[in-house]
Structures are given as structure tokens and as C-alpha cells.
Copies of this chain bind each other. A is one copy, B any other.
Amino acid sequence: MNGIAKYEARALSANSLLCVGLDSDKAKIPAQFANPFEFNKWIIDQTHPYVCAYKPNMAFYEALGAKGWDYLAQTVDYIRSNHPDIFTICDAKRADIGNTNAGYVRAIFDELGFDAITLHPYLGKEALAPFLEREDKVSIILCRTSNPESGEFQNIMVGDKPLWRVIAERVATDWNTHHNCMLVMGATYPEEFAGLRDIIGDMPLLIPGIGAQGGDLAGVMRYGIAKNDLGLIINASRSIIFAQNPAYEARTLQAQINGFRARTTC
């Protein structure tokens, strides 16, 4: 099954566009968990009915060296063994040139077994071919990020449009031959999504910035939802995994998202 089809099937069967970010910073996980994998296991047990996807950010695991790699491998394995229909995203923000990327492809798609990876666009399509040619896997291209001053280059005007929109158009019209691309669009600027669906069609958007970063969920749903009532993977990390009751937070956010879907599709 193509990775995008996997996401769509899970989003429909679980009735959820929610992604939980497994940003399991060892310094922040409660003391009763021996390590980040044990913590993730508990988070997954608590939240799996309410999600379409999980997204560990590689930085929190890489910080722990070889052990961190093992915690991450155990985490993906636990998801695949117990909930094989949940879409898994490695938020690694990688991108090297040409065949060098084969190392990352092997590590993240084949060894760890993720369905998708986040990628920097700056080196261009030709450099990213080893990712894009994997028809079974999804390449999620950083387009408009959720950090406060992300506009430094992303909003530079190229003719009459900002650079991030040039990138969105290139990905949609030229990179997506195998229908295996998504875009990262931060929730902090949803009004900028206006008109984007005319260019990218139903291409799914990975939306960081909801929750602790204070993104605008109503705006995201209004401007971001695709015609097929899907097309969004809305991520929350800290606001769910470090909450008193992660299951409650995940269920509540899933319902909030679906409330807006009902409204938008009425």
C-alpha cells in the first residue's frame, strides 16, 4: 500500500486527523519510566484510538547516542506490531545530495521501518531522488515552518510570491510523480493557506504548531482541509505527551478537529 493511502485509510477508520508527536525528551519524562521507549509505549497505549499518525522527532533520540537509536527502533516496532495501520513519520529533517541519501533511506525507511520522513527542500529534487523514488514511502517537504521567525527566507519574495509558495508549487507539480509527497505547513500562519489547495489538490499537509506553540486550529481547518475532507495531519507533541492525562488530551483534540471538519463540510 502506498504511504499516502495508508494515512488516508487510517484517518478514515479512526476518524482522526490527529498526530501525536513523540518528542520524548529524556529530561522531561516522568520518573516512573525507565527510558523514552517505556514512556512512548505508555503514550501509545493511552492515545492510539485517537490518532492517525505518530511522529517521533529524531533530535530527542539522537541526543542519547546509540541508546537513543535503540529506543526509537523499539518505539516504531511497537507501533507496527500493535497498530500496523497507524501512519509513522520520522521527523528527521534530513537532506543530503544524491546517493549519500541512500544511507538515510536505508536507516529510516528500511531499518527503522517508518512510513514517512521530513526533508529540507534546499538541495532540490535531483538531490532528494533516493527518497522521492520510494513509491511505497512518503517524503514530507518542509515548506512553511512554525517557528516565530521562519519567514527570514521562507517569505522572501520571488517575483510576486513568497519562496515557500514556490516550493509548494514545485513539489505539487514536479516532485510528486509517484503521489508520495506531503508538505509541512505550520499552524501559526493558516491564513496563508488561502488558495494553496488550488495548486496542491488533496496533497496532505503535516501541520506542526498546534498545542504548546499556540497555532490556530480554526484557521488551519478553514483554509487547510482538502476537498476529500482529509489532507491534514495535525500534530501536537508536548501538550499531549506531558499532560496529566494524555488519553484525555488526545481525545479532546481529535474531537475539536472533527468539530471543525463537520462545520467545514456542512
Contacts and interface: CB of A to CB of B under 8 A. Distances in A.
Contacts of A69: 65-66, 69
B104 A127 contact: no
B93 A147 contact: no
A124 B111 contact: no
Interface in A13-42: 23, 25
Interface string A148-159: 111111101110
A70 interface: yes
Nearest to A106: B63
A120 interface: yes
Number of copies of this chain that the complex holds? 2
A142 B58 CA distance: 20
A65 B107 CA distance: 7
A230 B171 CA distance: 39
Contacts of A104: 59, 62-63
Interface string A131-158: 0000000000010011111111110111
A124 B142 CA distance: 12
A170 interface: yes
A96 interface: yes
A123 interface: yes
A60 B124 contact: no
A98 B147 contact: yes
A232 interface: no
A167 B153 contact: yes
A172 interface: no
30 contacts: A25-B103, A59-B103, A59-B104, A60-B103, A61-B103, A63-B102, A63-B107, A65-B107, A65-B111, A65-B112, A66-B67, A66-B73, A91-B96, A93-B96, A93-B120, A95-B120, A97-B145, A97-B146, A97-B150, A124-B150, A125-B149, A126-B148, A126-B149, A126-B150, A127-B149, A127-B150, A152-B170, A156-B166, A157-B158, A163-B163
